[in-house]
Amino acid sequence: MPFNNIISRPDAAATIPEDVVAEVIQAAAAESAALSLFRQVNMGTKVSTLPVLSALAQAYFVAGDTGLKQTTEQAWQGVTLEAEEIAAIVPVPEAVVDDSAIDIWTEVQQGLAEAVGHALDAAVFMGTSKPATWAAALVPAAITAGNVVEAGTATVPEGGVVGDIDAALDLVEADGFDATGVAAKRALRGRLRRARDAEGQRLADLSAGTVEGLPVTYVGGGVFDATTLAVVGDFSLAVLGVRADMTFKLLDQAVITDDTGAIIYNLP
């Protein structure tokens, strides 16, 4: 007799309501800088391979009317994307739900969506709790590459914090790329507000949400560490694989244990 049968994801695929899936993706996107800035690729399976151009075609001048045309090639290499699950359990006593004046379930969904965005940004930018299957996080990789500008380096006549951002943009452009955006702590907003040129004129228009013409996306609190103020780069080259299967499940009959097997909550 079988003892290991389960209702698997394919078995229950038809039961996942599409409106809930779309709602979660939109809520997480609103809270996640990575989902807002990066180019997204929909993954049909846990592991997907993305072809990336690794060798560019070259063209040559032809020597006169009878000159020979040379050959060239393009090459691609595969970059592997591996999806990892982000999840959380929110225990709520039924008495609390019954007595609450608000829609607890709706609030829980929004809170979990924000938590997903926060966990994703922390892993992508800083490497916090990053799955081992993922590539290096952006900030540690930039530090390793030496692509770092210390905030406060530029003097007031040099633009202050805007001058620091300009120096970071110089590093991006020196590597042959054009920056498409800025991911920053909200603390940057105040520094931009106070940035002035030598005549006392503001250097940043916060109402436009840009600095040096680049959109600024503010990262949730606690994602960046104490030494990181902002990240600039060509985010069109940052690829984030997304499996659009995020769902909520409401359980009223379950047992929650810790990692040692000790029972924490017995819902029945």
Residue 190 belongs to a domain: yes
- Mean pLDDT for 77-92 is 83
Q: Among the listed ranges 74-78, 83-87, 95-99, 241-245, which one has the minimum average pLDDT value?
A: 74-78
- Are residues 126 and 159 located together in one domain of the fold? no
More confident residue, 184 or 21: 184
Q: Indicate whether 64 belongs to any domain.
A: no
User: Is pLDDT of 129 > 90?
Assistant: yes
Do 93 and 216 have their domain in common?
no
Looking at residue 192, its pLDDT comes to 87
CATH number at residue 211: 3.30.2320
Q: What pLDDT is stored for residue 24 in this prediction? A: 63
Residue 54 predicted with pLDDT over 70: no
Q: Residues 55-80: what's their mean pLDDT?
A: 81
For residue 266, being part of any structural domain is answered with yes
Q: What pLDDT was estimated at residue 171?
A: 95
pTM for the model: 0.77
| 224 shares its domain with 188 | yes
Residue 144 lies in a domain: yes
Supply the range of the domain harboring residue 114.
14-51+76-134+239-268
What is d(CA 105, CA 177) in angstroms, rounded to the nearest whole number?
45
* Nearest Cα residue to 81 out of 43, 29, 116: 43
Give how many domains the chain has, as a whole number: 2
What is the number of other CB atoms lying within 10 angstroms of the CB of residue 255? 11
Q: According to the model, what pLDDT value does residue 22 have? A: 60
Residue 70 resides in a domain: no
Token pair listed for 10 = 């394919």
Residue 61 is assigned to a structural domain of this protein? no
pLDDT of the residue at 44: 78
Residues 168 and 40 in one domain: no
Q: Determine the pLDDT at residue 12.
A: 63
Asked whether residue 6 is domain-assigned, the answer is no
Long-range contacts, 261-266 (Cβ 8 Å, 24+):
265/91
Can you say how many angstroms the Cα of residue 218 is from the centroid of all Cα atoms in its chain? 12
According to DSSP, the residues that pair with 231 across neighbouring strands are 183
Cβ-proximal residues to 118 (8 Å cutoff; 6+ apart), any chain: 31, 32, 220, 222, 223
Residues 125 and 222 occupy one common structural domain: no
* Overall average pLDDT of the 198-204 stretch: 77
Asked whether residue 86 falls in the same domain as residue 188, the answer is: no
Q: Is pLDDT at 61 greater than 80 in this prediction?
A: yes
Q: Are residues 30 and 160 in the same domain?
A: no
Contact between 33 and 219 under an 8 Å Cβ cutoff? The reply is yes
pLDDT at 107: 82
Instruction: Work out the burial of residue 223: count CB atoms within 10 Å of its CB; fewer than 13 is exposed, 13-18 middle, 19 or more buried.
Output: buried
Max mean pLDDT among 14-18, 63-67, 99-103 falls in 63-67
DSSP string for 56-102: --------STTPPPPP---EEEEEEEE-----------HHHHHH-SS
Q: Specify whether 157 is located in the same domain as 32.
A: no
pLDDT of residue 146: 94
Is the domain of 184 the same as that of 96? no
Q: What is the mean pLDDT of the chain?
A: 83
In this structure, the answer to whether residues 25 and 147 fall within a common structural domain is: no
Residue 216 pLDDT > 80, yes or no?
A: yes
Do 221 and 186 belong together in one domain?
A: yes
Are 31 and 154 contained in the same domain?
no
Of the ranges 37-46, 79-88, 165-174, 250-259, the best mean pLDDT one: 165-174
Is residue 59 included in any domain, yes or no? no
Helix H or strand E segment including 17: none
